[in-house]
């Protein structure tokens, strides 16, 4: 069963911070299942927590965030891994990233607590666009752009045709509808190019815009409605890219 530390469980209800919860526990004001609780106690989802005799609960609403991930942050919910995205953001509710952006990459990633929406977005056959700006170690030529557009043999397959355009001598913009592992880096490596910087700037209808690196913001109403429209034909499934 999924358990968590009592102070974290209290903080997730919005009652107080983890530090505040520790103080309440030390003062003998916190009970779990009508028994006095001590520091370090772990609780399960069906345990009843009360403070000063009052049961604390919170029906958590669905949350949808845009995050500008810095390089060096790992898109994992495993908080034992140094530099994990969950500890970095430190949001009081339990949220998780939708898809991945590898550790050396930066830019747009979604986070949510809505499990139903995750597979709809990740499902590659729905052709949801993801846009990146990529810096490389060699001059971007017409030959390189044409090769990238028409498909590259990686991971025992050929990448789907995609939109690629030159930004300047050493960077290009690419729009993918696939989610192969380290796809852009592998495509470039196949052509003897090395990726120096990789930044995702758009997923479907939602753009990174001027959101500062390391910052989080809620979806706007228009963004959420636009995304819902784009994924309306997606199937809820455990199969995801």
DSSP tag of 138: S
Helix (H, G, I), strand (E, B) or coil at 135: strand
Backbone dihedral region for residue 76 (phi beyond 0: left; psi -120 to 50: alpha; all else: beta): beta
Among 11, 58, 226, CA closest to 129? 226
For the record, the structure tokens of 159 come out as 């990448």
Q: Is position 47 annotated as part of the catalytic site?
A: no
Return all residues near 77 (Cβ < 8 A) that are at least 6 apart: 84, 85, 86, 96, 97
Catalytic, out of 102, 114, 116, 233:
102
β-pairing, 195-203 vs 106-112, is: parallel
Cβ of 2: how many Cβ atoms within 10 Å? 6
Q: Which residues are marked as active site?
A: 102
């Amino acid at each position: 069963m999924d358990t968590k530390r009592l102070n974290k469980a209290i903080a997730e209800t919005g009652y107080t911070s983890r530090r505040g919860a520790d103080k309440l526990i030390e003062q003998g004001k916190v009970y779990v299942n009508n028994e006095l609780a001590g520091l370090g106690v772990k609780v399960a989802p069906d345990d009843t927590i009360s403070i000063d005799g009052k049961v604390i609960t919170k029906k958590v609403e669905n949350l949808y965030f845009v995050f500008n991930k810095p390089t060096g942050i790992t898109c994992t919910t495993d908080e034992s891994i140094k530099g994990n995205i969950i500890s970095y953001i430190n949001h009081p509710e339990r949220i998780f990233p939708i898809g991945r952006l590898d550790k050396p990459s930066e830019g747009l990633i979604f986070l949510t607590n809505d499990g139903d929406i995750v597979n709809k977005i990740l499902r590659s056959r729905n052709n949801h666009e993801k846009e990146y700006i990529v810096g490389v170690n060699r001059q971007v030529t017409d030959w390189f752009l044409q090769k990238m557009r028409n498909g590259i043999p990686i991971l025992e397959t050929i990448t789907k045709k995609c939109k690629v355009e030159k930004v300047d001598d050493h960077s290009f913009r690419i729009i993918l509808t696939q989610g192969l592992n380290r796809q852009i880096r592998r495509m470039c490596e196949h052509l003897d190019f090395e990726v120096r910087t990789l930044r995702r700037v758009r997923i479907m209808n939602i753009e990174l815009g001027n959101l500062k690196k390391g910052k989080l913001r809620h979806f706007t109403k228009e963004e959420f409605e636009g995304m819902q429209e784009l994924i309306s034909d997606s199937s809820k499934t455990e199969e995801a890219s």
